[in-house]
Amino acid sequence: MNTGISADAVNVDVAGAGAADISAGTGSRTTAAFVSADVGYPDDSVPAKSRRSPLVPAAAMLLAGLLGGVTGGMIGAHNTYNNDYSRTAPAVPARSGVVSSDISAPVERTMSVSAIAARVLPSVVTISVATPASTATGSGLIIRSDGYILTNNHVVANAAAGARVSVTLYQELQQISAKIVGRDPKTDLAVIRIQTAGPLPAATLGRSGSLVVGAPLVAIGAPLGLAGTVTTGIVSALDRNPTVPAESGGESLLIGAIQTDAAINPGNSGGPLLDGRGQVIGINTAIATVPGGYGDRGASGNIGVGFAIPIDYAKSVAEEIIQTGRATHPHIGVSAVTITPDGASAAGTSPGAMVRGVEAGGSAALAGLRPGDIITKVNNFAVGSINDLIAATRVHRVGERITVTFERDRRVQAVEVTLQEQRD
């Protein structure tokens, strides 16, 4: 994953772990779980019993998924910080039609599920990505009345290889050709656009930063190609940072993801996660799965552990893509390795992200960071792993100054770092 922070080094205490045992970055050990970045459900085939993957050790399933291009990835450690991820983006022109609400997400449902469905279903579309060999479907959300639709990058990634992307509106049969406005593999977000004779029903975007654990949620999308499917659940947890597969065998980190038990299955990706008022508070993106599921996906479908990108973050990325065709990412300019609590205890240091290399002329070098420094905090957010460090910097904007706290020679120090734009 090219994030400005190299994640090619493994946790220092993993070597002695069993095949299905990983370090969660918090000092505890847990059986590996898997995240399936839902790429859509093939329209032209039903998973056959003969294609079932044999039950194999968890670590092998993970590796096979990554190398084979099959969706699968390891859930990242839960962060200890709580952030609303309200990354400030350039203002969108008034003509855009983006509808946002300043009302906090309710603790209890204030609208019935049927009322929420009736209100939001017209704003949810089914996205088809067709190649000469097959067609897959995903979901999308109308965010502007002039045809802009937000979805996941992995839903439309094949467009880069010449696949045809089309959109079917709610309760419509005709497919409308869609244009890719911009894709961002790092955040797994993309914006597409369709042209229609009249304005489209844009969804109302809520505030994911006001969510609380236990609050009611509704998910809408096209699981297994079944458009307009509505499921319900709650906020199971907040501020998860799961790592999911990205393009060309890389990885993508979902920043501060919302965990939910609402049923999310292949084809739901890119669809909205809604609060009790029917406001969009997340974009459904990934599910945790267990080995031995259908086909070559290695997934058994929904097990009650799904993840959505918070809308506060997704909205700012979408607005930047709409204005410039691309999203920018802050760059700290170091390669690092995770020091787990066990590893830190053995070495007599603190857990965190240990700097392995510093980019010449980069932000970290200019601030005085050196190889061997152990980064333990960014502003007020604790850093216990590489993923924590990526998440803590990614929520900021290029040009912002952050305070990086680190340990050097067992002494705690802090420096100001001005974030620069990461170049691919």
Catalytic residues: 154, 188, 269
Q: What is the C-alpha to C-alpha distance for residues 285 and 232, in angstroms, rounded to an integer?
A: 16
Q: Which two tokens stand for residue 95?
A: 């003509």
Strand 334-339 versus strand 330-331 pairing type: unpaired
Rounded distance between C-alpha atoms, residue 188 and residue 107, angstroms? 28
Closest alpha carbon to 244 in 424, 30, 59, 75:
75
Tokens found for residue 416: 């100001």
Polymer length of the chain: 424
Cβ atoms of residues 147 and 213 within 8 Å? no
The three-class DSSP label of residue 62 is helix
Cα separation, 98 vs 19, in Å, equals 48
- Where do we find the tokens 């220092």? 12
d(CA 325, CA 246): 19
SS3 274: strand
CB 384 within 8 A of CB 351: yes
Residue 5 phi/psi, 5-degree rounding, is: -130, 110
Give the Å distances, CA to CA, from 351 to 7, 287, 337: 16, 29, 11
Rounded CA gap, 419 and 424, in Å?
A: 15
How many other C-beta atoms are found inside a 10 Å radius of the C-beta of residue 140?
A: 32
Task: Return the closest-CA partner of residue 178 out of 187, 186, 169.
Answer: 169
| Selection from 342, 237, 256 nearest residue 81 by Cα | 256
SS (H, E, C) 185-248: CCCCEEEEECCCCCCCCCCEECCHHHCCCCCEEEEEECHHHCCCEEEEEEEEEEEECCEEECHH
